[in-house]
């Protein structure tokens, strides 16, 4: 385990097994169609790649970025769309891939974004859910794991841009971000 981490929350094998289940769930909905899978950068990128490669359904990929964090562990407020999609999604089935639903504000912003673009359907898949920290009433359609309110890193999730490359999910030591 990385020296800045306190404990491992989810091991690589546990994540891989659950990602397969998420992929099967999406295949059951979408096989035979070509949905657009949207990765909300950067935290979802590892999950996104593993998920799409575990699916049998053909997908197109697109990317966007929404951020509410600086280099902090507490959301700074209203999420802002920092990067728009490359292609039009009007009339398309969209699978939005999220790393974590925390306060829920990012997901509310994204749901509104896709509604305004008149997608045919929107399905949200989240790797993690932190229901204890929810500030708005929103949830993903498929959640891989529910976690407590500790700050977690790895498997795409960062603290100040670090730890995204860890293959597991771990709780960061408080001493790393409390100076």
Q: Where in the sequence numbering do the catalytic residues fall?
A: 102
- Our finding on whether 45 is near ligand IMP (CB under 6 A) is no
- Our finding on whether 5 is near ligand IMP (CB under 6 A) is no
Find out whether 21 and 50 touch, Cβ atoms under 8 Å. Answer: no
Which of 5, 95, 105, 176 is the binder for ligand IMP (CB under 6 A)?
Answer: 105
Structure tokens at 57: 């359904």
Q: Which is nearer to ligand IMP, 54 or 75 (CB)?
A: 75
- Max Cα–Cα distance, the chain, nearest Å: 52
Please report, for residues 9, 10, 38, the alpha-carbon distance to residue 14 in angstroms, rounded to integers and kept in the order given: 10, 6, 24
- Our finding on whether 75 is near ligand IMP (CB under 6 A) is yes
Binders in 50-69 for ligand IMP, by CB under 6 A: 68-69
Segment interacting with ligand IMP (CB under 6 A) among 6-14, 50-58, 80-88, 93-101: 93-101
Q: Helix axis angle, 12-30 relative to 45-54, nearest 10°?
A: 60
Degrees to nearest 5, angle at CA 67 with 49 and 18: 30
- Our finding on whether 101 is near ligand IMP (CB under 6 A) is yes
- Our finding on whether 106 is near ligand IMP (CB under 6 A) is yes
- Our finding on whether 93 is near ligand IMP (CB under 6 A) is no
Instruction: Find the distance separating the first CA and the last CA of the chain, reported in whole Å.
Output: 22
Which of 96, 100, 124, 125 is the binder for ligand IMP (CB under 6 A)?
Answer: 100
Structure tokens at 32: 């035979």
Instruction: Give residues in contact with ligand IMP (CB under 6 A).
Output: 43, 68-69, 75, 79, 99-107, 151-153, 157
């Amino acid at each position: 385990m990385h020296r800045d981490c306190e404990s491992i929350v989810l091991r690589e094998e546990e994540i891989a097994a659950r990602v397969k289940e998420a992929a099967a769930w999406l295949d059951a909905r979408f096989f035979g169609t070509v949905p657009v899978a949207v990765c909300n950068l950067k935290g979802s990128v590892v999950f996104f790649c593993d998920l799409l490669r575990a699916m049998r359904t053909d997908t197109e990929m697109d990317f966007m970025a929404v951020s509410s964090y600086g280099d902090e562990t507490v959301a700074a407020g209203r999420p802002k769309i920092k990067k728009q999609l490359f292609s039009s999604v009007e009339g398309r089935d969209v699978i939005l891939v999220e790393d974590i639903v925390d306060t829920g504000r990012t997901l509310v912003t994204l749901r509104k974004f896709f509604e305004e673009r008149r997608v045919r359907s929107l399905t949200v898949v989240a790797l993690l859910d932190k229901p204890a920290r929810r500030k708005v009433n929103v949830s993903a359609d498929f959640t891989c794991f529910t976690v407590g309110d500790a700050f977690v890193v790895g498997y795409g999730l960062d603290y100040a841009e670090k730890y995204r490359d860890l293959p597991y999910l771990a709780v960061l030591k408080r001493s790393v971000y409390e100076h």
